[in-house]
Amino acid sequence: MFLGYAVYAIDRTVLSAMIVPMSSSLRLDNTQLGFLVAAQYIGVLAVVYFAGILSDKYGRLKIIVAGLAVFTAFTWLIGLSNNFAEAFIFRFASGVGEGVFWPVAMASVASYFGARKGFALGVFYVGFDAGSATGPALAGLVFSLTSEWQYTFLVAPLIGLVPIAMALLQRNSVGAIEGAVDRLSIGRDALRLIRQRNVALVMSFAFVATWASVWQVTFLPLYFNKVLGYGIVYAAYLTSIVPISGAVGKLALGRLSDTHDRRRMLVLISGLVVLAYLAFFGSTGIYFVILAAVVMSFFSSAVFPIMQALMADSCGGRIGTALGLNTTSQSVATVLSPLIAASLFRFGVGKALAVGAMIPAVLMIVVALLLKEPRMEASVETRKEEAAATGLKAG
């Protein structure tokens, strides 16, 4: 699952690294640029809610392999695009593959590792960081050798063949957790969950947290190029450094969340995200920019395994449905965020990205303050029951 999520990220970040030469070659205006970046996220949004149903009907292994195969194949086709329409369609289709893979893989990990789900999801999410670091670096290398953006989309997806082969080789292990995750259901089950206050709040947090961070995946190389004036290849390499910090944050803080109050951690981390963003967008010197980028990635990335673990704890055992709702909420944010940012580019790339990052980052703090920690409440109830039982015995 880790390797699959890494390829998922490579698929996304190759586009972000090549957005400048690709935009020039295909003659994209700002609106088309926004839709092209959002196309993949629209594809994810179209199917992510139904992924669990498909896995229940056809088997988890088949769905995981199908998702990997689809977004690998259609990323290749993006390299053959001659105009905006073709690039958009291929990008949308690759997003469909990602939407099929993502929630099934994540819910499987959360169920399989139980009480260690915070750390396990942190490890899973590090796959995204590994891919986010590999994608821009690989794209920059291929572009530096060929001076053609098309070749970056033809080379990078080759890595997708590895997790496909490994999933097939490990089919017995994947099959062992079939049925361990509640199916992603349509209708009453999902509505019951949404009506629960903490589930609705975690979904809201998932939305604003994703909105606050998705620009790092889609537009960070553009920021380095257009705002700070770095070359395309250098911007790609610089971007590849940032996810490494995010990976460390997910592992360290995800593991810490297994033994500490996840709600309080989200409040604290959200505040640190705001401060890190202020430092990043206010920095101009290369060393300060790199340091601020590393810090912002560490904290903004760490919220995701903690958030997903909190949702798994809040759903009364219906992990598949709950994480499907969460990923749907995130997918809505990934569609809206690049469209909003691109529409504001006429005021300047730097201002557009700063506004698009800071507003939802502040909202993260507000929503996190309203969350509850189900494990702590359960612990309090247990202590009350034990005290009552002790009183009865004494009587």
pLDDT tens by residue, 116-147: 888 888 889 888 878 877 888 888 888 888 88
- Distance between CA 25 and CA 20 in Å, rounded? 9
Residue with tokens 């970040």: 13
Query: Of 31, 17, 10, 29, which is closest to residue 149 (Cα–Cα)?
Result: 17
**Mean pLDDT, residues 146-168:** 84
* pLDDT greater than 90 at residue 264: yes
CATH numeric code, 2-380:
1.20.1250.20
pLDDT band at 173 (very low <50, low <70, confident <90, very high): low
Structure confidence at residue 112 as a pLDDT band (50, 70, 90): confident
Taking alpha carbons only, the member of 210, 222, 220 closest to residue 30 is 222
State the pLDDT at residue 231.
83
Q: Which residues contact 273 (CB under 8 A, 6 or more apart)?
A: 212, 296, 299, 300, 303, 361, 364
For residue 301, how many C-alpha atoms fall within 13 Å in the half-sphere facing its CB?
30
Q: What is the pLDDT of residues 11-39, one digit of tens each?
A: 878 887 888 888 888 888 878 887 888 88
Choose the weakest-confidence range: 33-37, 280-284, 317-321, 333-337: 317-321
Residue holding tokens 């390797």?
A: 3
Q: What is the token pair recorded at 376?
A: 């702590």
Phi, psi (degrees; rounded to nearest 5) at 362: -65, -40
Q: CA dist 219 to 13, 72, 172, 245, 305, Å?
A: 9, 22, 40, 18, 23
pLDDT of residue 71: 85
In 3-state terms the chain splits into helix, strand, coil percentages (rounded to 5) of 85, 0, 15
- Map tokens 């590994």 to a residue: 130
What is the CA angle 163-98-75, rounded to 5? 80
Token pair recorded at residue 119:
């750390």
| Portion of the chain with pLDDT greater than 70, in percent | 88
What tens digit of pLDDT does each residue of 75-101 get? 888 888 889 999 999 999 998 998 888
**285 pLDDT above the threshold of 90:** no
> pLDDT at position 180, please?
45
Q: Is residue 148 within 8 Å of residue 26, measured between CB atoms?
A: no
Give the integer Cα–Cα distance in Å for 296 and 354. 13
**According to the per-residue pLDDT averaged within each range, which of 6-10, 114-118, 189-193, 210-214 is highest?**
210-214
Whether the pLDDT of residue 52 is over 80: the answer is no
Q: Are 202 and 188 in contact (CB under 8 A)?
A: no
Determine the average pLDDT of the residues in 254-271: 92
Among residues 151, 152, 105, 116, which one has the least CA distance to residue 6?
105
What are the boundaries of each domain within the chain? 2-380
17, 35, 276 from 130: Cα distances, Å: 15, 26, 22
Cβ count near 300 (within 10 Å): 27
Interatomic CA distance for residues 205 and 367, integer angstroms: 6
Give mean pLDDT, residues 233-238. Answer: 78
Stretch among 252-256, 270-274, 319-323, 388-392 having the lowest mean pLDDT: 388-392
Mean pLDDT of the chain: 82
Q: Which pLDDT belongs to residue 379?
A: 47
Q: What is the mean pLDDT of the segment spanning 363-391?
A: 67
